[in-house]
């Protein structure tokens, strides 16, 4: 198991971690198997989506902000209930197939760490195994 440290810079953002995950997969020696990516935070998440057009990430963020606006009368006392809801919607983990020693992603796909309560230093856990 490997821990990636991710420093976020904004209250809400998506950070491409594909290359870092790919390095872990390559160093594992696993040619065919599974790569499991887990975010151990209740106000952050991980997703796979388009990497070619940065407007896609901006649209995802805008859509989440529209669906789950900050300060909408939530009961959670810390004031970050919207971040908890957004993280629950996106999810804490992703599983990616490994083929030829690399994460098997579509041509336009990347793995994104999603921050909803930043800026903070975050962790991402990655493990690779054979099928």
Q: What is the pLDDT confidence band of residue 77, given thresholds at 50, 70 and 90? A: confident
Nearest to 117 by CA among 83, 71, 69, 89: 83
Give residue 71's pLDDT.
86
Q: Around Cβ 106, how many Cβ atoms within 10 Å?
A: 9
Residue percentage of the chain with pLDDT more than 70: 100
Q: Residue with structure tokens 């997703």?
A: 47
Domains, the chain, with CATH or none = 2-130 (2.60.120.460)
* Full DSSP string of 52-98: S-HHHHHHHHHHHHHHS-TTSS---TTS-HHHHHHHHHH-SEEEEEE
Q: Around Cβ 121, how many Cβ atoms within 10 Å?
A: 9
């Amino acid at each position: 198991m490997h821990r990636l440290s991710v420093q976020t810079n904004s209250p809400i953002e998506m950070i491409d971690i594909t290359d870092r995950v790919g390095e872990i997969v390559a160093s594992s020696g696993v040619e065919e198997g599974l790569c499991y990516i887990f975010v151990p935070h209740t106000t952050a998440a991980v997703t796979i989506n388009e990497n070619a057009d940065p407007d896609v990430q901006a649209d995802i963020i805008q859509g989440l902000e529209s669906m789950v606006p900050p300060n909408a009368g939530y009961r959670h006392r810390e004031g970050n209930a919207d971040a908890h809801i957004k993280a629950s919607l996106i999810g804490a983990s992703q599983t990616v197939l490994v083929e030829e020693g690399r994460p098997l992603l579509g041509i336009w796909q990347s793995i994104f760490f999603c921050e909803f309560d930043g800026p903070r230093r975050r962790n991402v856990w990655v493990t690779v195994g054979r099928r």
